[in-house]
Every structure is written in structure tokens, then in C-alpha cells.
Amino acid sequence: QVQLVESGGGVAQPGRSLRLSCAASGFNFSNYGMHWVRQAPGKGLEWVAVISYDGSNKYYADSVKGRFTISRDTSKNTLYLQMNSLRAEDTAVYYCAKDRLGITYYFDYWGQGTLVTVSS
Amino acid sequence: EIVLTQSPATLSLSPGERATLSCRASQSVSSSLAWYQQKPGQAPRLLIYDASNRATGIPARFSGSGSGTDFTLTISSLEPEDFAVYYCQQRSNWPRTFGQGTKVEIK
């Protein structure tokens, strides 16, 4: 069955960096677009970034553009999110999510999430 | 940015009752709308995509309808496991956005 397992969350000071990972299994990772979606504590959902099945296309929410970088390693079936210049408003649970098909922006499987707290 | 407004914010119902949740878009999203269910401490689960298509493994008591700016998620007869928060999401325009959620709670 499809499994997505995030790691790498934690506490970071404003302006510092973190890298999140998402290990995928149970499906052909190289065939699907992959996303990061976040949820601030007690708040709703915010789409963050997407990467195409082959890594050739990447798109970002304006709130993270220029600071975050999405990437993937097909040999390791792993998705990444490099987060630089972190801000307090980046505090959230970060979910990796599989696209339903190529890049449809429908998220049919989600990981359990990893909490990122940005605080001094 | 397309704003999705969900109503009501909270729906208090008993098991076995019918739940009707609304999602209104600030401009047309055609049929490019999904519904997700989220339980406390869990990740969201895709229920409906393209306004009316049930995702894999979703029970038939969940149905979606609508197009343009007005959408509805209907749960025909609430089961105990259906009490959760429900979000709509559009993929028609940038940025992709979610509604603020409707909480379905036990009355």
C-alpha cells in the first residue's frame, strides 16, 4: 500500500534552514507529481510546492518562492523540501502528498506530517 | 486569488442523519474542486475530485455536486467515523487554495 513518511522537522531560529524528507513506497514514485502542503497550528491547509514526475517542473506558492526548493531523488524514492530563510509564519505541520495522476493538484495520499517550528 | 468559503463553520448532527456541506468560490472554478476529510491528529484524506468523482475506496454515502461557484458535499447517513473537519480545494486557478473547513460534530 502507498506509504509516505516525512522526517526532518524540528525547531529552527528565524533566518535558519531546515530540510524535510519524504520517503515513498507502495507505488511507482517516478510516475507521479509530488507536493508539499502545510497546516499552521489550528489552521487550514496551504499548498506549498509541487514537482513533476521527472523533476523537470517545479512550482511554488508565492509565500515560499525564492526561499524553499522542492526536489526528488527517484533512486531513493524520496521527496525533499529545502527551507531557507525561515520565518515565524512558516511554523506548521508539513505534509508530503502524492498527486492523483501526473500533476492534477489533487492529493490522493498524504504522509503523517512533520512539525516545523520557527522560533527564537 | 480564488477564495473558497465553506458553510456552515460547524454542523452538529447525530449518527444516521444527512450532512450537507457547502463550498462557494469567489469566481468560477468549473468542476475543478476536491473535498478532503481530516480527523484530529491525522492527515487529510481525499474524498471527491472534479466536483463529483469519489476517490478510490471512498464509501458511496459520500457524494459531491456542483460546478462554477457553488459546490456541495453530501454525506447521506452519518457514521460515527465521519465526524471530522472537511475542506474543499480548487485547482482551477493560481494559487491552488483550500476553504477554511467545516467541522461536523456529534450533536
* pLDDT > 90? residue A47: yes
Q: Do A106 and B34 touch (CB under 8 A)?
A: yes
Q: Do A45 and B49 touch (CB under 8 A)?
A: no
* A58 φ/ψ angles, rounded to the nearest 5 degrees: -140, 135
Write the pLDDT tens digit of every residue in A2-35: 999 999 999 999 999 999 999 999 999 999 999 9
pLDDT band for B21, please (50, 70, 90 cuts). Answer: very high
pLDDT given for residue A103 in this prediction: 87
Cis peptide before B15 (omega within 30 of 0): no
Maximum Cα–Cα distance across chain B: 38
Residues of chain A positioned with their CB less than 8 A from the CB of B49: 100, 104, 106, 108
State how far residue A104 is from chain B, nearest Cα, in angstroms: 8
Write the pLDDT tens digit of every residue in B62-95: 999 999 999 999 999 999 999 999 999 999 998 8
Mean pLDDT, range B55-64, rounded to an integer? 97
Q: Are B51 and B67 in contact (CB under 8 A)?
A: yes
Q: Do A47 and B45 touch (CB under 8 A)?
A: no
